[in-house]
Each structure stands twice: as C-alpha cells, then as structure tokens.
A and B are shown apart, each in its own frame.
Chain A
C-alpha cells in the first residue's frame, strides 16, 4: 500500500484495519498451548456399569508455563493425562492442543499429534531395550521421517544437553535410573514438542536423583521456555511449579500459584 493510496483511504476504514490487526495479534499471543473445555470421559458407555471418570474439566495452559497437576490415586489423574497426551479421546468436550483439535482427531492424526506436539516422560522411563541411548532419542524423529544424518546430529545434541554425551552408545540396562530418565527427557525433546508431559517422572528415583531430574525440567523451562505439565502426587515437587491444580474425583477443585523454582 503506497502512501498516496493510504492518504486517499477514509480514516474510518484505516482505523478498522488497525483494530482487526491488533485483535489478531493479541489472539495469537494468548493462544494457549492447552485449551480444554468441559472435558468428560466415561467408560463402558451404553452398558449398565457406565462410569464417568472426568466430570467436566476446564484446563488452560499457556506457552512457557510449568504446571503441576496433583491428585490422589483414583482422582482421574491418569485418565486426564492420557487425554492431554492424545493417547485417548474424550467422550465429550473440546480439546485444542497448540491449535490442533485433538478431540476430533482420528488414530493416524493422534499418533502425529503425539509425535510432533507432545514429549512424554514416564515414571518407568520406558526406554526401548537393546537400543542405545542415541537410538532411543532418535526414535521420535524416525517416526517423524527426519533423515538419518539430521536425526543423529540432533540426538547427540540433546544427549549433550541432558549431560549424557558420554553414554550415547550405552543400552538402557547399562544406565542408572537417573541416567535413564535423562535419556528419556532427551527423547521427549526430540521433535521440539509444544509441551512436555511428565507423569510422575521421579516416582522411581531416590531423592538425590529426583533432584537432578527436577533441576533438568527447571532448566528446560527457564532456559528454553518449554511448557511443562507435571503430574505427581508429591506436594513438594508440585510446589516448585508456577501453578498447581488439584484434582479430586474427576474435578479440578483448586488452583493456586506455586513457589516456583530455586534454579536460576
């Protein structure tokens, strides 16, 4: 648009354009990573023993947040985590993950969402046996069809980041629990996901190793601005997060700010 044209335009229209642009910009800025609205999940649908586990969950997680979800066992924590992780589809409600409608996705689309948008960190590490740390980290990139050379380079870089560069050829059974979890975190980061989904990541570790793993999460959060969702029943770990959501009987009953981390 040249200045002469611009001058010729009515002021009102000009203002309208500017306003629309500002709104769009604001929308993009506040576009949350996770936007769940009235999510319900039932099992044994249509049978006499039909059971609703989640009774309308509303959850919004913004980019760069470190959120903890705490709850007793049986509170629906795992079910919620499966839904957030696109391992399952909700019975009703809407769920958008990084702008993608997960609730409506089919099986192939779900696997693509898991591959590109989510980085899983499990309590039991779930590294693939008989495969080196390097191969484990490469795996999500393999499914993303990234060329071999690029895969290996990125995997090395990630293992270096988690401090495992001297163990890249080791197989899982040659690694300690803390080392395994660090490899698993490197693997979760492989496709630069929108969110890291950590389900009791320190559940199988002693307190000292737990600390190093939590420090690694804080480091990813602070230094790379990674959005992290931590599911735990450990209140002390939850306190380290920005925001703590408490889940009781399939409902989010409380939401408060956490203390944040001591890590710089």
Chain B
C-alpha cells in the first residue's frame, strides 16, 4: 500500500500542471464548502455575540390569550372573551413575590417596566433633546447594570407616585448645562404625551454609549440624536399612562448564570401557568432571546448547508475530471500495465494501484481545498468582525468526501486497467 502511495505521488509530480488542473474541481469544491461553513459559523457567532448584550438568557414572561383549541375554553366562552386583560387577569405583585421565593437560587432579579413613551425637553442650546421615559421596579437598575454616579436609584416603596427621576449624566449636561455632580435635587420639565410635567432629579447614572440595552436605543451615533433613558418609579409612570396598578402584563426574569435557560424557561412558564389554570381567556407565555437566537442560528446553519450542497456539485464535476484524467493516464501507461501483468501483477494489484492514485489526487486536492477554504473563511469572517474556524468535524468530512470521490471515480478506470489483456497491453504503442 505504501509503495502504491509513493508511486501515485511520483506520477503526480511527473505531471504537475495536469495534476493541478485535475485537482482544481476538488480544490474549488472542498474550498468553497469549508469557506461557506466558516462564514456561517462566523455569522451565527457574531449574532450570538451582539445579542448577548440584550440579556440573551433573560426570560420574558407575558400574558397571552388562550387559544381556541385549549380544552378549558369552549366555544361558549370564546364569545365573551376579552381582548384586553382585566385587572384580575394581570400578573400581580404577589405572584412575583411568590415566584421569587419559589426559586431563590435561580432568579437574580425580576424586572417590571412601564413605558411612558418619549419625552422632549428644550436643551441648553435651544435644540430639542429626546429621552425615553420608563417606569421601573426596584430590581431594574441593578439588573441592567446601570451605574449610578450621584444620588440614589428608584425605591418604589419610598418613592411610590412621587415625581422623581433618574437621568443620564449626558442628559444633565445637554439639558441643564451643569455638572452632573450638582444635578441631584434639580427640577427638570419633561413634556410627555404633550403635557409638560416637572420632575426632580434624585439620581444620575453613567451613560454608556456601548450599552445596547433595549431601553436605551441610540438611533445613530450622531451626537445630537443620542436618546437617553429617564427612569421613574413604576407607579409614577403608571399614573402618567393611566395603567392599572394591580399588576403587569409582562415581566423579565434575570436568571443566574449557571441556570440552564431552556429548562428554567419551561419551569417558569408552568409555574405562572398554574395561576391561570382557571382563567377563561388568559395565560402566560415565557420566551427568551436565547431561543430566538438559536432559531436564527439554526436558520443560518440551514442556509449555509444548502449553499454547501450547491458547492458540492463542483465536487461532482471535479470527480468526473479525476475519472477523465485517470482514463487518459491508463491509456498512456498501457505498456506499463502490460509489463506489470507480465511480471506477475494480479488484477487486484493493478486495480488497487490506480484507485490509490485517484484517491491520492483527490486527497491532495482536498487538502489544498481545506487550506484555501480556511484562508477564504478567515478573510471573510474577519470582514464580518467575528473570527471563526471550521470545526474538526467538517474538515474530517471534507477529507472523507475527497477520499470517497477518489474511490468512486477512480474505480472504473482502475478496473479497466486491471482487465486489460496483457498481450494487447504489451504490444501497445
């Protein structure tokens, strides 16, 4: 076998250009499959990476209407079903407290927010400054890693419906034109929903440009258009929007790092569902960004698999090229085959020799293709900004596939060689 491999290498070296041209199909095929896999991995990697800023493992729990198929809601009930949850349907403070108590180790924080919309203020330079106004519960600021610089955060028990707010340092300089150090206690007039209202600043937090948290959407990095968040006590925001104070329609659970999000998501959902077993029209649904991301990643994987399959067609073309060149090579070497037979080579030996030669061509081509694909993939993924490497599995598959092509497309020519009549072959000019 080793002799056959050396022999195949020798004949490759003897016809370098021809060997290279023959391998080209294999090189392009394997190379593009590996490159596409790498780009796919890079894409899903960068998506996972950028999504992780949004609290990828957070579980959001929200009220949802029961569907008609549900056995607890018959047709009769559906006629009276509400499209908006009543006060009794909401997730109450009591439920949240019990939930926390039920999973003290898994739950780090439960975020409850009330979006009061956006507020505009006339800035120190006369231009409008826009901020989003959000009522938050006690957990929120800490859970979202909002870094308080001065004053204090939101304490709903104390602050209840008081008109106090926590603003960004940047907001202070833009609106009041003073140092954030002196901002605590100052009044600021926010126009929310067309109604100007006066709030007192009780805390200043550090605005983090890199923070891509959902409540702080910076539309673009242009200085004037920066939108910061203004945080209010939960009930203050509810008062502004006129929402019920009985409970919430949705909440976000921040789970501990070591918690398996997928499993805990199910646990959370069934825990809350138990409260809604007797409710005719409403129940809860838990979801997480992680499940969304995994859906996206799966989609990318499917797409790159599909593209790879198309690229694999060039492997087929490459295989046909190998077969063609093997047939030519066998015709050229008819006398050699005749001589080998005269010297006592059985058919199997001739067959093995040429199959090995075809496999060596394909493996060398496959090897070059893997290197090329890794190079292309690395270049493309560095453009995408998330470096990824093809996994060992796909490299092993590429190697196995090129071997299979060699055997498949090399067998027919090799068999033809093995079946040559030694007399004819020796006489061949």
Interface on A for B, CB 8 Å cutoff? 82, 85, 87-88, 107-108, 111-112, 114-116, 120, 122, 126-131, 139-140, 142-144, 187, 191
Contact = CB atoms under 8 A, between A and B. Distances in A.
Contact of B339 (A111, A116, A126, A142): A126
B423 A114 contact: no
A140 B423 contact: no
Given A128-B336, A130-B10, A143-B349, A87 B344 contact: no
20 contacts: A82-B423, A87-B342, A87-B422, A87-B426, A111-B347, A112-B346, A116-B344, A120-B342, A122-B339, A126-B335, A126-B342, A128-B340, A129-B336, A130-B11, A131-B7, A131-B10, A140-B344, A143-B340, A143-B343, A144-B344
Contact of A120 (B3, B11, B343): B343
Contacts of A111: 341, 344-347
B346 A143 contact: yes
Contact of B426 (A107, A112, A126, A191): A126
Contacts of B219: none
Contacts of A88: 423
Contact of A115 (B7, B11, B343, B422): B343
A187 B343 CA distance: 9
Nearest to B10: A130
A85 B342 CA distance: 8
A82 B427 CA distance: 11
B340 A114 contact: no
B336 A139 contact: no
Nearest to B338: A126
Contacts of A120: 342-343
Given A82-B423, A126-B426, A130-B11, A139 B342 contact: no
A83 B341 CA distance: 14
Contacts of B349: 143
A108 B346 contact: yes
Contacts of B3: 142
Question: Taking chain B's interface residues, is the majority helix, strand, or loop, or is none over half, making it mixed?
Answer: helix
A114 B342 CA distance: 6
B263 interface: no
Contacts of A129: 336
A128 B14 CA distance: 14
B309 to A, nearest CB: 40
Given A129-B336, A143-B349, A114 B11 contact: no
Interface of B: 3, 7, 10-11, 14, 335-336, 338-347, 349, 422-423, 426
A107 to B, nearest CB: 7
B111 to A, nearest CB: 74
Contacts of B340: 128, 139, 143
Contacts, number: 61
A13 B7 CA distance: 63
A122 B344 contact: no
Contacts of A115: 343-345
Given A126-B335, A129-B336, A140 B422 contact: no
A132 to B, nearest CB: 11
A130 B339 contact: no
Contacts of B342: 85, 87, 114, 120, 122, 126
Nearest to B11: A130
Nearest to B349: A143
A142 B345 CA distance: 9
Contacts of A87: 341-342, 422-423, 426
A186 to B, nearest CB: 12
B343 A130 contact: no
A68 to B, nearest CB: 21
Contacts of A114: 341-344
B334 to A, nearest CB: 12
A131 B345 CA distance: 16
Contacts of A140: 343-344
A85 B423 CA distance: 10
Contacts of A112: 344, 346
B14 A143 contact: no
Contacts of A131: 7, 10
A139 B343 contact: yes
Nearest to B7: A131
A89 to B, nearest CB: 11
A142 B343 CA distance: 10
Contacts of B335: 126
A143 B349 CA distance: 8
Contacts of A126: 335, 338-339, 342, 426
A4 to B, nearest CB: 53
A22 B109 CA distance: 109
A131 B349 CA distance: 17
A140 B11 CA distance: 20
A202 B336 CA distance: 20
A57 B336 CA distance: 30
Nearest first, the 4 A-B pairs at minimum CB distance are A115-B344, A126-B339, A111-B346, A143-B344
A140 B342 CA distance: 9
Contacts of B14: 130
A119 to B, nearest CB: 9
Nearest to A140: B343
A166 B13 CA distance: 26
A114 B339 CA distance: 11
A129 B340 CA distance: 12
A111 B338 CA distance: 12
A143 B342 CA distance: 11
Contacts of B346: 107-108, 111-112, 143
B32 to A, nearest CB: 34
Nearest to A111: B346
Contacts of A187: 343
